[in-house]
Chains A and B, each alone.
Chain A
Amino acid sequence: MTLQVAVRIALGEFLLDVRFESGLSGVTAIYGPSGCGKTTLLRAIAGLQVVPEGTISVGSECWLSRDVNMPVHQRRVGYVFQQPSLFDHLDVAGNLQYGKKRCGSTEGKIQFDEVVSVLDLENLLGRRVQALSGGEQQRVAIGRALLANPRLLLMDEPLASLDAVRKAEILPYLDRLSKDFATPILYVSHSLDEVIRLADQLILMESGRVKASGNLLRILEENQLDPLFGQPFSLVEGRVTRLCTEHQLTEITAAGLKILMPSMDVEDRQLVRLRLYAKDISLTREEPKASSILNIFPARVVSIDDAQHPAQKIVGLRSGDSFLLSQVSRLSCEKLQLKVGEQVFAQIKAASLVH
C-alpha cells in the first residue's frame, strides 16, 4: 500500500507545502523540528484539517482530490493524539468498544482479546478513565484506535505528554504494535530516539516541506550531517549471534560486522539496531596489534566532510556492507593523509542499543 500526498495549506504566516509518496508497511515516522507542520500534515491525512488544495490517496482509494473529500469517519484512520483524549463518560471497556462497534465489516478484524493482551489492559477494563495514570490512558487510547480496525494508524507524538518513566513504559508496547498487527502506522515525532527505535521508513520535514522520504537507514545515510539529526551517528541493523557468558559479552552481526558489546537484555537471534556516534569511532592506518578496543574493522573511506567544529572532520566509511561515520580532528586527517578510496581501520569505542 502506498500513501500519496500533495497538499498546500496556508495557516496565517505558515505554509505547509508537501508532496511525497511513501510505502506503508510497518512504521513510517514523520520527523522534523517542532512547528515544521508534522501535525498539520497528519490532520490533513485524517481529514481533520481543511485542505483547500491537494490530493491524498491511500492504496487505490482517493481520499482527497478536486472532486472528492472523503469524510473523516469513512477514511477509517485510527488517530492517537498527544493527549490520550479518552471519553470521560465511558469506562475503559466502553472506550475500547466505541470504534469497534462502528467499524462495520468483521473481515480480518483486529480481535478485542488480542489488543487487550498486547497492551496489557486486562486489569483496567472496568476502571473509570479518570482513575488511570497518563501512561495507562495512552495505552487505552492506542487500543481504542486499533480496535476500530483502521486501514492506517496515525500517531501524533503519543509519548510527548508523558514523563521519561512513562515513556519507557509505553515504548515496548509500540514495538509490539508494529510486529503483532499488520496495520501500517504513521508516527509523528520530534524525538530522534523514538524514530530510530520504531521507524522502518522516514519522512523528513523542515519548515513546511518534505526534505526526503524513504527507507530509514538510507535517509539517515544520505542526510547524515543534517543538523536535524544532532550529533553525527550511524545506525546499523543486525542480529544477536552469540551470547558469550564467560566474558559477559554479546555478539551482534550487522551488515558484515561482528560487534561485541557488554551483555544486554537481549535474546539470541533477536533483531537489534545499534547507534554508533561518529565521536566514538576513531581511525588508524595500520591494524592495531595490541589494542584494548574489541571492535576493530577494516574500512574504506568514502567521504570526508567538515564537522560543525572547524577543528574536526567527519569521515564516512564503508566496512562490509555497513556505513559508518568517524569524527577525527583535522590535524589527524592531515597526518594520516586520509583520502577518499583509501583503506583504514575503524575502532569502535562504544555503541548503544536502540531496538
Chain B
Amino acid sequence: MSSADLVALWLTLKLAGISTLILLLIATPLAWWLSYTQSKVKVAIEALVALPLVLPPTVLGFYLLLSFSPQGFLGATLAALGLPSLSFSFAGLVLGSVVYSLPFVVQPLHHAFVEMGQRPIEVARTLGASGWDLFVSITLPLARRGYITAAVLGFAHTLGEFGVVLMIGGNIPGKTQVLSIAIYDHVAALEYGQAHWLSGGLLLLSFALLVFVYAINRRFDLVKT
C-alpha cells in the first residue's frame, strides 16, 4: 500500500469515527422525540430523516455544495462569523457524512426506544432518578443493542461514502481524499492491484462490522430468553 493510500485510509477512519460520535449525540434526542411525540409533524420529520436512504448521494452533495458557497445559507453565515468555508474541507466532509448517515443511526435508536417503552423510565423516576443519571443508569443500558447497532451502521456507512464526498470535498489528498475516491482513482489509472488491496480491505472490514452487529443482537436475544 502506498503512503498516499495510507493517508486516505487514516482520513476515512477519522471521518467515520468523528461523524459517528456526532451522529450519536444528535440522534439520541431526535430518536427519543420520534419515539414518544404525539406531534403532527412527526411523519414529516421521519420522512426527512429517511431521505438519505433513497436519494442519490450526488443530490445531497449538490445541495450541500450550494449551501456551502459564499451565497449559500451555511456559507454566508460562516463567513459572517469569520469562520473558514466548508467547501473542500474536512469539516465539510463531516457535515456531509452526518447528513448522509443520519437514518442509519436514528432508526436503530428509534426502534430500541420504542421496544424499551416508557415504563422503565417511569419506574426509575418514582425511585428518585432524573436527568443524566436516568439516561446513564436506565436508557443507555436498556437501549444498548440499539446504540451498538447504530454506531456500527453509522461508521460502516460513512466508510463507503463516495458521491457526497466527491461533490463537496473534491479529491484533495491528505485533506478530503477518502478511501472510496482513492479506489476510483486507482481504477481510472488502471492500477488494479492497488484498487484490489483497498477494495478487498474495505469489503472485509464492512463484513466484519456487520457480523459483529448481528452477533451482538443474537447474543442479547439469547440472554433475554
State A71–B138 Cα separation when bound (angstroms): 18
Nearest opposing residue in chain B for A46, CB measure: B126
Nearest opposing residue in chain A for B117, CB measure: A85
Q: Which residues of B contact A71 (CB under 8 A)?
A: 125, 130
Q: B138 contacts A87, CB within 8 Å? A: yes
State A324–B148 Cα separation when bound (angstroms): 66
Q: B130 contacts A73, CB within 8 Å? A: yes
Nearest opposing residue in chain B for A100, CB measure: B127
Q: Which residues of A contact B79 (CB under 8 A)?
A: none
Q: Does B224 contact A (CB under 8 A)?
A: yes
Q: B128 contacts A102, CB within 8 Å? A: yes
Nearest opposing residue in chain A for B126, CB measure: A79
State A103–B126 Cα separation when bound (angstroms): 10
Q: Which residues of B contact A85 (CB under 8 A)?
A: 119-120, 123
Q: B119 contacts A88, CB within 8 Å? A: no
Q: Does A130 contact B (CB under 8 A)?
A: yes
Q: B130 contacts A148, CB within 8 Å? A: no
Q: A99 contacts B127, CB within 8 Å? A: yes
Q: B128 contacts A73, CB within 8 Å? A: yes
A73 and B120 in contact, given A87-B142, A88-B224, A130-B224 (Cβ under 8 angstroms): no
Nearest opposing residue in chain B for A150, CB measure: B126
Q: Which residues of A contact B72 (CB under 8 A)?
A: none
Nearest opposing residue in chain B for A130, CB measure: B224
A41-93 CB contacts (< 8 Å) to partner B: 46-48, 71-73, 75-79, 81, 83, 85, 87-89
Q: Which residues of A contact B141 (CB under 8 A)?
A: 89
- Closest Cβ–Cβ distance, residue B48 to chain A (whole Å): 28
Q: What's the dominant secondary structure at chain B's contact region?
A: helix
A99 and B128 in contact, given A87-B142, A89-B142 (Cβ under 8 angstroms): yes
State A85–B142 Cα separation when bound (angstroms): 13
How many A-B contacts at CB < 8 Å in the complex? Answer: 66
Q: A78 contacts B128, CB within 8 Å? A: no
Nearest opposing residue in chain B for A87, CB measure: B120
B181-225 CB contacts (< 8 Å) to partner A: 223-225
A81 and B142 in contact, given A98-B127, A99-B128, A102-B127 (Cβ under 8 angstroms): no
State A79–B122 Cα separation when bound (angstroms): 9
Classify chain B: how many residues form its interface, as a range: 20 to 34
- Closest Cβ–Cβ distance, residue A74 to chain B (whole Å): 8
Q: Does A139 contact B (CB under 8 A)?
A: no
Q: Which residues of B contact A102 (CB under 8 A)?
A: 127-129, 133
Q: B224 contacts A72, CB within 8 Å? A: no
Q: Which residues of B contact A48 (CB under 8 A)?
A: 122, 125-126
Nearest opposing residue in chain A for B127, CB measure: A99
State A93–B138 Cα separation when bound (angstroms): 16
- Closest Cβ–Cβ distance, residue A142 to chain B (whole Å): 12
- Closest Cβ–Cβ distance, residue A88 to chain B (whole Å): 7
Q: Which residues of B contact A73 (CB under 8 A)?
A: 125-130
State A191–B124 Cα separation when bound (angstroms): 28
State A104–B144 Cα separation when bound (angstroms): 28
Nearest opposing residue in chain B for A104, CB measure: B128
State A98–B128 Cα separation when bound (angstroms): 9
Q: Does A301 contact B (CB under 8 A)?
A: no
1/0 contact string of B101-143 vs chain A (CB within 8 Å): 0000000000000000001101111111110010001100110
Q: Which residues of A contact B225 (CB under 8 A)?
A: 130
- Closest Cβ–Cβ distance, residue B112 to chain A (whole Å): 13
Q: A145 contacts B126, CB within 8 Å? A: yes
- Closest Cβ–Cβ distance, residue B159 to chain A (whole Å): 30
Q: Which residues of B contact A76 (CB under 8 A)?
A: 128
Known: A48-B126, A79-B122, A88-B142. 15 other contacts (CB 8 A): A46-B126, A71-B130, A72-B130, A73-B126, A73-B127, A73-B128, A87-B124, A87-B138, A98-B129, A99-B128, A103-B128, A104-B128, A130-B225, A145-B127, A148-B128
Can you give 19 A-B contacts (C-beta < 8 A)?
Answer: A47-B125, A48-B125, A71-B125, A72-B125, A72-B130, A78-B127, A85-B120, A87-B123, A88-B224, A89-B142, A98-B124, A98-B127, A99-B126, A99-B128, A102-B133, A130-B225, A144-B127, A145-B127, A148-B126
Give the 5 A-B CB pairs with smallest separation, nearest first: A99-B127, A102-B128, A79-B126, A72-B125, A89-B141
